[in-house]
Amino acid sequence: MEKSYLGTDTEPLLVPTSDEKLMAVLSHALTLACGFIAPLIIYLVKKDESSFITQHAKESLNFQITVLIVMICLFVTIIGILLMWIVGILSLALVIVASIKASEGKLYKYPFSLKLIR
């Protein structure tokens, strides 16, 4: 298990197939265009088929909901509006790291994420 300020990754119990890796990558990468909708759809469609995809989709969904909550809180404050770009850049970097870990077949946990969906 590798731990860092960019999150943690672990090896899954079963080696994921290339299709599972692709869906896991999409659950992270599509958030750049669709927000939390993409991992929600992937989670609902694939939750009974693959635990690897399910874990990535849940992690991505939790992170995107966390980012949305933080952005709303920042938007309500004057100084927060100036800090929103930092959250955006950090979010982009973490989504890229998560996508890379998913493509390597590892389970990834975001460092700053509320666990709303278990």
Exposure b/e, 26-47, CB count within 10 A at least 16 = b: bbbbbbeeeebebbbbbbeebe
Strands 2-4 and 7-10, bridge-based pairing: antiparallel
pLDDT of residue 4: 62
Is the pLDDT reported for residue 6 higher than 70?
no
Is the pLDDT reported for residue 114 higher than 70?
yes
| Section 20-35 average pLDDT | 94
pLDDT of residue 15: 83
Judged on CB neighbours under 10 Å (0-12, 13-18, 19+), 8 is middle
How confident is the prediction for the chain on average, in pLDDT? 89
57-105 pLDDT, tens digit each: 999 999 999 999 999 999 998 888 888 999 999 999 999 999 999 999 9
Residue (of 66, 82, 65, 64) closest to 74 by Cα position: 82
